[in-house]
Each structure stands twice: as structure tokens, then as C-alpha cells.
Amino acid sequence: MDQISQLLLVATVFLGFALLGSSSMSGCVNLLALQGYCLSVLPFFLHHEEHSARAVLLAAGMAFLKGWLVPRILLHAIREVRIAREVEPLVGYVPSLLIGVVIVGLSVVLGQRLPLPPGNHSGLLVPISLATMMMGLFLTVSRLKALTQVIGYLVFENGIYLFGLLVFRETPWLLEMGILLDVFAAVFILGIVIQHISRQFDSIHTDKLTQLKE
């Protein structure tokens, strides 16, 4: 069981790297979907005794939302607004990957310094959650297109979800549903705004959004 959870965590961080280096928009969305699936099954292997109806429900909700629905909305947006399929990063792919390596190193150091409560969670959980968050933030600031910024935001959100698994058993399921619902609503609204941006500017480059400044 532990090996599977380790494997899933490592897969999550690898998918993060793949996102940093991927040049195709729809490829990025697929990677994001895969990361969503990894996260959704992770709780089963992380907490051995958790096979309650609630855990299953939550995993199903997570898989449906982050693995299927959100990527579907994003792919729809790509098709709808006929975006060129290229990611067009502000920071090149190779430097991005190198920054990713630095991020992972940093997270491992940080993760070791945090005084974790005793429990049967994997030692990899905290560093990988931190790394995923930072990769997400980096993707958000280093990519030009509105859609890739959303992908970055979602990766960041995934990192926070991973961190939340530390306190998984204690948080009421209603709360987790609320959090999932909020994420969904955020993506939905972001999707609508992207469509407005593309209609208004004939492009989804956020560098067109420069009228408001001091």
C-alpha cells in the first residue's frame, strides 16, 4: 500500500514537471487531468483503513471533477476560442524545468524542517505538496495565455489538496465537498471570462490586458 501511495506521489510531481516542459495546450490539459486522477485515488492508499462510503464518495467526486469535468471545460475553451495550440511561455521550457528542479529541492528541505505530527502518512506527502504548489504558482506567473494561467492555478490548488490530505480524516466531508464545489465554480467562472477575453481581444494573451496601470 505504501509503495502505491509513494508511486502516486512521485507521479504527481513528475506530471508537474511534464506540465512545466509541455508546449501543447491540450497536452497540458491532459496532464492536468492525469494529475487529478492520481490525487483522487491517493487517499485510499495513504490511509490504510479508509474505505468508508465517505472516502469512496469523495474520491469519486474528486475524480469526476478534477479528472473529467474541469479538463473538459478547459478543452472546450481551447476549441471554442480557437487558440493556437502553442503554450508560449514567458520563461523557456528548459529554464522552466530547471526551476522545477530547484523547487523540488527547496520543498524537500522545507518539508524536513516542518515538525509533522505523528501519523501514518507518507514522508513524501509534505515535500511533494509544497513542490506542486510552487510549480503551480510558477506556471501561473510564467505563462502568457489566460488558459495556461488557469492551469497553473489548478496545479497550485492540487498542491493544497495534497496538503489537506494530512488532515483528511478529521475534516467533515461536507467541508471537503464545499471546497471541491468552490474549485469547480472558480474554473467555471474563469472559463467564462476566458471566452469574454477571446471575444473582446481576439486573443487570450494576458499581455493584451495592460490598460489598467499606474
Partner 1 sequence: MELLGIILVPLAASLAALAWPDAKSRPLLLPAAAGVHTLLTLRLVAAPPAAAYGAWLSLDALGLLLLAVSSLVSLGCNIYGVAYLRGHSERDNRFFVACTLFMLSASSVVAVTRHLGLMWVAMEATTLAAAPLIHFQHSDRSLEATWKYLIMGGIGIGLALLGTYFLALAGAGNPEGYALHLDDLLALGPRLSVPWVKGAFVFILVGYGLKMGLSPLHSWKPDAYGEAPGMAGAALSAILTGCSFLGLLRAYQVCLAAGQVEFVRDLLVFMGLLSLLTAALFMLSQKDFKRLLAYSSVEHMGLLVLGLGIGGTGIFAALLHFVNNGLGKGLLFLTAGNIHRAYGDKTLNHVHGALRRVPVSATLFLVGAFAITGSPPFGLFISEFLLLTSAAGAGRWAVALSVAGLLGVIFIGMAGAALSVAQGEPPAKPLCQEQGESLLTTMVPAAFAVALLALGLYIPPWLMDRLGAAAALLGGTRP
Residues forming the site for partner 1 (CB under 8 A): 114-117, 119, 133, 137, 140, 146, 149, 153, 156-157, 160, 163-164, 166-167, 169-172, 175, 178-179, 181-182, 185-186, 189-190, 193, 196-197, 200-201, 206, 209-212, 214
Q: Three-state DSSP class for 55? A: helix
In the complex, least distance from residue 65 CB atom to partner 1, rounded to whole angstroms: 15
- When the beta carbons of 7 and 123 are compared against partner 1, the nearer one is 123
Q: How far is the CB of 59 from partner 1 (least distance, A)?
A: 19
**Which residues are paired to 145 by β-bridges?**
205
Least separation in angstroms between CB 3 and partner 1:
25
How many angstroms separate the CA atoms of 5 and 115, rounded? 21
Cβ(56)–Cβ(107) below 8 Å? no
Cβ(58)–Cβ(173) below 8 Å = yes
In the complex with partner 1, the residue whose CB is nearer, 53 or 114, is: 114
Q: Coil, strand, or helix at residue 205?
A: strand
Report the C-alpha gap between 3 and 212 in whole angstroms: 51
Task: Output 34 or 190, the one with its CB closest to partner 1.
Answer: 190
Closest CB 115 distance from partner 1, rounded Å: 6
Residue type, 204: I
